[in-house]
A and B are shown apart, each in its own frame.
Chain A
Amino acid sequence: MTASATVEMGTELPPLVLPPISRTTLALFAGASGDRNAIHIDIDAAHAAGLEDVFAHGMLSMAYLGRLLTSWVPQSRLRSWSVRFTAITPVLAEPTCTGTVTAVDGRTATVDLAVALPDGAVTLTGTAIVELP
């Protein structure tokens, strides 16, 4: 499904439901993205920081939100966006990405974004400015 001329306040993007984030995914994402903080891939580094286990990169969840947006509109229409990381995403978590149009102003739409876990914890919130056709 793609955004059409019928985008209006309250329009919901088709949610993106992710499978559990495995340790393999964290390792592959660290290498492919360049986000190599050991706290995401090395349990010894996590322990040294006082954590029980590694946790997912915030930018992995933001990349999932990017997939939510680019499966809705061509990427060239994404003008700007920002997120706040509101909670840690534990390894093996199953995030769901959602987006809702909260304003339409001429040829741009404002989309409120969120990533949540099955227990209700919200890990990211954000806003995107998207150009309409």
Chain B
Amino acid sequence: MAEASRTIAAIVGQEQGPVTVEVERGRLVAFGRAIGETDPTYTDVEAARAAGHPDLPAPPTFLFGLDLETADTLGFLAARGVDLGAVLHGEQAFTYHAPVHAGDTLTFASTFAEAYSKAGGKLDFLVRRTRVTRAGELVAELDNTAVIRNGGPS
């Protein structure tokens, strides 16, 4: 595959974190409401406990935004010359190893693992891999592929 632009290629190998954050119950409720969740397991602690959870469960994609914000990935990329207006989300993957609930303290550690270019250099791809642990136990892995449009708005 073709090489990514110099700005993007220079980010490969860089790491973010580890950063640690608590999963807040109120935030899970706000997230559930924002996505229109109708299953009370995700927004009502009593319903969650009745379903066998110790507290509200974090829904499948919740860790993505918590990581993005806690690690300030957008700020990290902007500081390295990436135009955030040119960044699109290309692919996202999750692998789960243990459930996450409100009250958990999580640590995110990320690596920009690879970059490549397509469409004759018009598009750069940047892959970021994240491991999420709780007291040393791996609970989830995230893979994020960003697409960066080169040459201004298109």
Contact = CB atoms under 8 A, between A and B. Distances in A.
Interface of A: 18-19, 25, 28-29, 31-39, 45, 48-51, 57-60, 62-64, 66-67, 69-71, 75-76, 78-85, 88
Interface in B37-68: 37-39, 42, 57, 59-62, 64-68
A90 to B, nearest CB: 14
Contacts of B95: 79-80
Given A34-B70, A37-B74, A28 B90 contact: no
A78 B100 CA distance: 13
9 contacts: A28-B34, A31-B30, A32-B27, A33-B64, A34-B67, A50-B152, A59-B61, A67-B39, A81-B60
**Size bracket, chain B contacts:** 35 or more
B138 interface: no
Contacts of A29: 31, 34-35
B94 A81 contact: yes
B19 interface: no
Contacts of A36: 68-69, 74
A25 B33 CA distance: 9
A17 B99 CA distance: 27
Nearest to B87: A37
Nearest to A57: B89
B143 interface: yes
Contact of B91 (A31, A69, A82): A82
Given A75-B99, A78-B60, A32 B66 contact: no
A42 B88 CA distance: 16
Contact of B92 (A25, A59, A78): A59
Nearest to B153: A50
Given A28-B30, A67-B35, A82-B92, A34 B60 contact: no
Contacts of A48: 85
B60 A66 contact: yes
A71 B86 CA distance: 35
Contacts of A82: 91-94, 143
Contacts of B39: 67, 70-71
B84 interface: yes
Nearest to A69: B60
A84 B70 contact: no
Contacts of B35: 29, 60, 63-64, 66-67
Top-7 shortest CB links A-B: A50-B153, A34-B69, A49-B85, A33-B65, A82-B93, A34-B65, A66-B60
A31 B27 CA distance: 9
Given A25-B34, A58-B88, 20 more contacts: A25-B36, A28-B33, A28-B34, A29-B34, A32-B65, A33-B64, A33-B65, A34-B67, A34-B69, A35-B69, A50-B152, A58-B89, A58-B92, A67-B37, A70-B42, A70-B59, A79-B95, A80-B94, A82-B91, A83-B93
